[in-house]
Amino acid sequence: MRRLLLGLVLALTGALVIPAAPGAARDELPALSVVKAPSYDGVRRFGRTLVAAPGRWSPAPAKVRYQWLRDGVPIEGADRRRYEIRPADVEHRLRLQVTASAPGYADTVTLVKVGRVKHRVDVRRTVRYSVRVKGRVGGGVEVFTAQAQQTFDDPRGWRGKGVRFVRVRNGGAMTLWLSEARLVPSFSSGCSAQWSCRVGRNVIINVQRWRHASPAWNAAKRSLRDYRHMVVNHETGHFLGYGHSSCPGRGQLAPVMMQQSKGTQGCRFNPWPTQRELRRR
Ligand SMILES: [Zn+2]
């Protein structure tokens, strides 16, 4: 465990410089002095990449190390200059730790405040919705309700287009149904008992698919949780005015508006709207 000296130096830019020493014998070593404090470039939104600037030191360091932190905790694998913002960062605070080392000097650690990470875009539209059950679904409605909201709140989903979904007790602009399979066609003759569906304001999730995903999905060894994200995003996409898409090319991500439950025509299974789908007006 690296011990940090308590002699803190506040650099001109507000970055915190902490000379650190790995052991008692090195306590005597001087810290590097900061000429220009480390900083970062980039916009702190999901979908963006931040790039650390090492600053300038005297003497010039032999080595500079980076570690990005979320709410004060080091992020696994985030030890390079470039950091691609992750879904889990949204609504949390990032910091960058820069450690400069030179022979004959104590490692000198600087903490750079990055701040709270935002969604890709600000909220442009709020959809209030309620959750209802059709027929016998055999419990699990609370999990359904909670997981659907997670999908709506996820930075990778329609929230990335600026659409926020807020659940209300009754009514709202949209109804999210968990439906017994044989009752899905009761919403419209265009719906099948085999799949989920959307009819007007009704987004209908077939409980059989919710519980067991689909044969094509399972054959691709994708998780049930991802199927649930996909089916909620897909049917809600219809509510938002999207029709079906096809695979844009072998090996590419399947659009979420592709009927992935049935197969992907060589595209990769994908639970989230693609960049192209998010950009579409
Ligand atoms: Zn569809």
CB neighbour burial string for 255-277, b if at least 16 within 10 angstroms, e if fewer: bbbbbbbebbeebebbbbbbeeb
Please state the domain extents for the chain. 4-116, 125-279
User: How many angstroms separate the alpha carbon of residue 81 from the centre of ligand 1?
Assistant: 41
Query: Matching CATH topology for 4-116 and 125-279?
Result: no
CA of 63 to the centre of ligand 1 (A): 53
Residue 62 CA, ligand 1 centroid: distance in Å:
57
Taking only the tens place, the pLDDT of each residue in 83-132 is 999 999 999 999 999 999 999 999 999 999 999 999 999 999 999 999 99
Centre of ligand 1 from the C-alpha of residue 216, in Å: 16
11-25 pLDDT per residue, tens: 334 466 665 555 545
Is 2 a residue whose pLDDT tops 80?
Answer: no
Kindly tell me if the per-residue pLDDT of 3 is higher than 90. no
> Picking from 22-31, 157-166, 235-244, which range would have the lowest pLDDT averaged per residue?
22-31
* Ligand 1 centroid distance, CA of 80 (Å): 41
* Tens digit of each residue's pLDDT (9 = 90 or more) over 56-84: 999 999 999 999 999 999 999 999 999 99
Percentage with pLDDT > 90 across the chain: 88
Fold classified for 125-279: Collagenase (Catalytic Domain) (3.40.390)
Residue 244 CA to ligand 1 center (angstroms) comes to: 6
Domain 4-116: which topology? Immunoglobulin-like (2.60.40)
Cα(87) to ligand 1 centroid in Å equals 26
